[in-house]
Structure 1
């Protein structure tokens, strides 16, 4: 969606953010005007410092309103990660303004401590400060709520800033009260309570500025909080089939999080299983950082529990080659490998032999105990054969059932199909076997039945038998 359209039709969270920022600007403007007028009338430095503080609140609220508008723009060709960083920059400007006001307040306070100035006492400063405390309390709670719902750092910084205004207003209130008591009862040291209160306000501003500065610098430098990183690594490590979490990188741009992960996975996992694992890792991150943009890189990794079968298959998988009928024998501590390798039927012998040679060399590097490798090269069909179904051949079907009778484990023969491709005759069928029969025994029985049929019926070039568990045929 284009930025202009999104600005005209903002979503509900964006509207709430902008309303909160706008209400903060209006409240800051009203409180600043009241404090400034009261400070000028009474001559209270504490009140004037509060007016300066509220003026900074107004400037900060204005900057926040601007940054909230800009940060909601979607990513574009020039800003691939969106515009959220503008919120961090607005906080940086706010920190600069707060620091400048502190220097002015401290300078004036020290000057008045050396050369005291009489304050014109009135009920108005007390009323204005009480109103300011009430307004700051209301808007800080509102900003905290919206910041939590929207994940806006700019609104959260404003909320923290305005909540400290309450304490600075209380400090000035106590300073004015102490100065009034000092004048009424002629207690000289209390006459300096007003500039002391101003110094307290500057201390509060500096404390807030320091916290905001740390948060802003961390955000601008893409720092990842240690607790967040630890929590992410713990959550991802519990995803099944994740061997290790090699890298976690998190960057924040406004309310948006961008997470880069590097995960070590068993190199023998299938593509489908690897995809399931990455989906699980993505879900684990989303539970901690909802809505995060997540990029996951997986690294195929050898495990200590790998068998020689796994290592040989891994070498073939790296070449995207299919192997089957893999067998391993150990003689005098050395391994002898036999396997069937599938190559395209149009590949020439020279190319196939070179491929096998390089494959066997890589397997020996992977497993030094290998002494010999015998590779049976098989052509992998790449063309569709035109096959005709042969009418039921009772002689062949009876021969098949007689061969099956020699094996009591075979409970049933069904779905017999006889086809012819050119001069090649093929028999396909399904057989029922006990559920708990080991696969090694299943393979032996099927292979023997196929061999019997080929010996007794030489015209049959291929027999394929699909085994099924007994309970599957009971349904």
Structure 2
């Protein structure tokens, strides 16, 4: 069991570290090309990747800290560090979007900036899409395997970059067409419009991520799980009733408390065996859940009368 836990933590850290390396390379490449071409779309993507780098560093740190075992001050472990990391990443992305929108509006209505569309501009975006696709798959796989919201948030950033990079490429194509066909001058604004679309995509995804992080921090129960657990436990032979079902997560670790009523004639060893069966039943719904079962004697028919 301990060996499996160590292996899982090492796998999560390796995924998070590879995300950091990828974000460093992409951010540097985009900044250089964005400055040299003057493309707001690429600079917006560079800012996005820069925040992805900060988010990746936060994720790496969060994964390391969340794996620490419970102690006297943190009885449920340190898993919520992952949820805090995901929420902070959301705030960073939203702040960046404000800057992108402001700069795009300035270029559309108040300030003209000449953009030089070169092969490097298309190359950096193509490389970005390739790296983002590879990293998002690795991170999503690790996030699903270990139920890690921090890794899922990081994967979401990289997968969002695929779409936003594609939009920037379309904007660059529009600028290039405007150079070749002066009658299509409106396409000169395609880069700024692409930057606005990037910002809208990031805002939409960030709000979803932020909502999930807040729900996790507020100990919101997974939808439908409480009812499903109650019904499953009540089907266990010997359980008269199941109530007061509570579920909370500490990062990827679920904790479940349930109260059950058992037949009053059951002796202690039988009740103990029954609670172990209830634990196994719950863990079929929530693997690796830390389950606490509170058995209580059901009222006898005579006492009800």
Tell me, yes or no, whether TM beats 0.5.
Answer: yes
**Counterpart Cα distance in 2 of 1:211 and 1:55:** 21
Match of 1:123 among 114, 119, 124: 119
Does residue 163 of structure 2 align to residue 164 of structure 1? no
Higher relative contact order (CA 8 A, sep 6+): 2
Secondary structure in 1 matching 2:224: helix
Which of the two has greater helix per residue? 2
Q: Structure 1: state its 5+ residue gaps.
A: 1-5, 312-365, 369-475
> How many matched pairs?
301
Tell me, yes or no, if the aligned pair for 2:40 and 2:191 is still in contact at 8 Å. yes
Deviations, residues 162-207 of structure 1 (Å, cap 9, x unaligned): 1111001001111111111122111121111111100110011111
**Counterpart Cα distance in 2 of 1:270 and 1:182:** 85
Deviations, residues 422-448 of structure 1 (Å, cap 9, x unaligned): xxxxxxxxxxxxxxxxxxxxxxxxxxx
Which of the two has greater strand per residue? 1
Match for residue 210 of structure 1?
207
The structure 1 segments of at least 4 consecutive aligned residues displaced by more than 6 Å after TM superposition are: none
**Counterpart Cα distance in 1 of 2:270 and 2:220:** 33
Give the CA deviation at 1:367: 7.2
Deviations, residues 238-284 of structure 1 (Å, cap 9, x unaligned): 21122222111111111111111111222232223222221121001
Q: Structure 2: state its 5+ residue gaps.
A: none
**Counterpart Cα distance in 2 of 1:138 and 1:49:** 21
Deviations, residues 364-410 of structure 1 (Å, cap 9, x unaligned): xx376xxxxxxxxxxxxxxxxxxxxxxxxxxxxxxxxxxxxxxxxxx
**Counterpart Cα distance in 1 of 2:228 and 2:176:** 54
Match for residue 228 of structure 2?
231
Match for residue 197 of structure 2?
200
Q: TM-score by structure 1 length?
A: 0.61
Report the aligned-residue RMSD. 1.7
Tell me, yes or no, if the aligned pair for 2:230 and 2:243 is still in contact at 8 Å. no
**Counterpart Cα distance in 2 of 1:199 and 1:367:** 68
**Counterpart Cα distance in 2 of 1:149 and 1:73:** 19
Does residue 61 of structure 2 align to residue 95 of structure 1? no
Alpha-carbon distance change, 210 to 367 in structure 1, aligned in 2, over 3 angstroms: closer
Match for residue 32 of structure 2?
37
Match for residue 7 of structure 2?
12
Does residue 248 of structure 2 align to residue 251 of structure 1? yes
**Counterpart Cα distance in 1 of 2:225 and 2:237:** 21
Match of 1:278 among 271, 275, 290: 275
